Amino acid sequence: MLPVISFVGRSKVGKTTFLEKVVAGLKQRGYRLAVIKHDVHGFDIDQPGKDSWRFLQAGGDIVVLSSPDKMAMVRRPEQELTLQQLTALVMDGVDIIITEGYKGEDRPKIEVFRSDVSDKILSPKDELIALVSDKPFDIDVPQFGFEDVDGVVQLIEGKFLNRPAAEDIYLSVNGRDVQLKSFVKDAFIKTIAGMVSSLHGTQEARQIKLTIRLP
Amino acid sequence: MLPVISFVGRSKVGKTTFLEKVVAGLKQRGYRLAVIKHDVHGFDIDQPGKDSWRFLQAGGDIVVLSSPDKMAMVRRPEQELTLQQLTALVMDGVDIIITEGYKGEDRPKIEVFRSDVSDKILSPKDELIALVSDKPFDIDVPQFGFEDVDGVVQLIEGKFLNRPAAEDIYLSVNGRDVQLKSFVKDAFIKTIAGMVSSLHGTQEARQIKLTIRLP
């Protein structure tokens, strides 16, 4: 299972700034990572007059710009994409996914807390794996000050990255996530990996992506 | 097969402006579409100081921003993504993909030509399905003036959109496109569609996406 860790916390506590440093720390240790930021208020990545904006404005549902060293995609989905859909989109070739936000999802969480913004922790205790805070709490999870980026990076590495990758499958049908029981997962993985391994000239598969359209 | 039509032509002939109008025309007729622009010189969608830029700068390999009505992804791939990879990324839920650029790919092409920029058509004749030009050429494809956006939209609709969708499959293994012969395609589609149809509670599948990671 690809690790997905969420940094959560109220607005204005400094999540983005802290997360930026964590990303740099993980990168320095050689990991490839994806960051998914949940921005409920919207964002303006596509600047008026630029190509991506022009094509979206004209009525494109998805606009992609691709150059040799960068790819960008902007999409207006009919419904907000789920974290699982976004995870499937970015999972190839990264070791870990870090999210900013998604406090409502059932994922391991690191809460960023500042006492001048709030006085209560918002994460459920069973999902909280660490707290970044300007004051100590009497709770049973590792706590870090805002200066201790390295401590947080080490915790993430020790808990999620120093272990062999396990099999994992993501399935969506007609744009909706499908949850598979573990024996069904296994059947899908074995069947498809088997079919792929029989293809002439295919090296050992570590990552398989399949998209099928049916009439 | 999802139709993929490429608008090609030398720089400064007005491809983006013409394509913008074609996109609007197709949208008006109710089609869902993706636009993929090949920008060999790079582009600066992520503005310095904005979140996507900060996370990429810090070392993120992929950064996603997601809000209820918009999703954006910026990625620094190790190698330039192929048109086939980009196609797989956007193919769910669109009726047609229009590209700007990708003149080297073997796809149906509409060339945009302006006589003050060049004096020769650059597309191979067997791939050219129409010409948008400020002067007539003695060639056997439909030709349109720059004002005749509607003519081009009608041609695309008649040639690619007024027909039932056919089955289609895209496979990538370890990030590389795999071309399948037609009987192998058929075996994959039938097997996987069969497995999916046996899942409890799954409606009739029109679109299946599968991502598998193996240790």
Residues of A in contact with B166 (CB under 8 A): 215
Per-residue pLDDT at A207: 87
Residues of A in contact with B47 (CB under 8 A): 45, 47
Nearest residue in chain B measured CA to CA from A88: B211
Pick A58's closest partner by Cβ from B23, B54, B55.
B23
CB-CB under 8 Å, B34 with A64: yes
pLDDT of B204 higher than 70: yes
The answer, for A20 touching chain B at a CB cutoff of 8 Å, is yes
Per-residue pLDDT at A165: 65
DSSP-based three-state secondary structure for B4: strand
Phi/psi at B212 (5° precision): -125, 135
> The tokens of B138 are what?
């003695």
The answer, for A30 touching chain B at a CB cutoff of 8 Å, is no
Mean pLDDT calculated for residue range B178-184? 90
Mean pLDDT calculated for residue range A103-107? 92
Per-residue pLDDT at A23: 97
Lowest mean pLDDT among A99-108, B9-18, B67-76, B201-210: B201-210
Residues of chain B numbered 84-143 and touching chain A (CB < 8 Å)? 86, 88-94
Cβ B67 vs Cβ A41: under 8 Å: yes
- For residue A37, the tally of other CB atoms under 10 A from its CB is 24
Q: What percent of chain B has pLDDT over 70?
A: 97
Lowest mean pLDDT among A62-66, B21-25, B42-46: B42-46
Nearest residue in chain B measured CA to CA from A70: B76
Nearest residue in chain A measured CA to CA from B168: A213
Q: How confident is the prediction for chain A on average, in pLDDT? A: 90
Per-residue pLDDT at B48: 72
Distance from CA of B143 to the nearest CA of A (A): 23
CB-CB under 8 Å, A88 with B80: no
Per-residue pLDDT at B174: 86
CB-CB under 8 Å, A64 with B36: yes
pLDDT in tens, A176-198: 889 899 899 999 999 999 999 98
Cβ A176 vs Cβ A81: under 8 Å: no
Lowest mean pLDDT among A18-22, A39-43, B33-37: A39-43
CB under 8 A, 24+ apart: contacts of B83-86:
B83/B4, B83/B36, B83/B38, B83/B107, B84/B170, B84/B177, B85/B172, B85/B175, B85/B177, B86/A64, B86/A66, B86/A71, B86/B36
CB-CB under 8 Å, B59 with A215: no
Q: Which residues contact B87 (CB under 8 A, 6 or more apart)?
A: B2, B4, B36, B97, B170
Q: What percent of chain B has pLDDT over 90?
A: 67
SS (H, E, C) chain A: CCCEEEEECCCCCCHHHHHHHHHHHHHHCCCCEEEEEECCCCCCCCCCCCHHHHHHHHCCCEEEEEECCEEEEEECCCCCCCHHHHHHHHCCCCCEEEEECCCCCCCCEEEEECCCCCCCCCCCCCCEEEEEECCCCCCCCCEECCCCHHHHHHHHHHHHHCCCCCCEEEEEECCEEECCCHHHHHHHHHHHHHHHHCCCCCCCCCEEEEEEECC
Pick B214's closest partner by Cβ from A187, A206, A213.
A206
Residues of chain A numbered 152-181 and touching chain B (CB < 8 Å)? 164-175, 178, 180
Per-residue pLDDT at A167: 81
Per-residue pLDDT at A164: 67
CB-CB under 8 Å, B28 with A91: no
Residues of A in contact with B6 (CB under 8 A): none
- For residue A101, the tally of other CB atoms under 10 A from its CB is 19
CB-CB under 8 Å, A36 with B64: yes
Pick B33's closest partner by Cβ from A61, A169, A173.
A61
User: How sure is the predictor about B165, in pLDDT bands with cuts at 50, 70 and 90?
Assistant: low
Residues of A in contact with B94 (CB under 8 A): 61-62
Nearest residue in chain B measured CA to CA from A1: B213
Closest CA to A157 of A129, A135, A186: A129
Nearest residue in chain B measured CA to CA from A38: B66
| Dihedral angle sign, alpha carbons of residues A151, A156, A159, A163 | negative
Chains A and B form CB pairs within 8 A to the count of 372
Pick B212's closest partner by Cβ from A40, A80, A193.
A193
pLDDT in tens, A137-147: 999 999 999 99
Distances (CA, A) of B166 to A109, B3, B33, B91, B161: 44, 10, 17, 13, 11
pLDDT in tens, B82-137: 998 898 888 877 899 999 999 999 999 999 999 999 999 999 999 999 999 999 99
Mean pLDDT calculated for residue range A112-116? 96
CB-CB under 8 Å, B69 with A77: yes
pLDDT of B164 higher than 70: no
CB-CB under 8 Å, B172 with A33: no
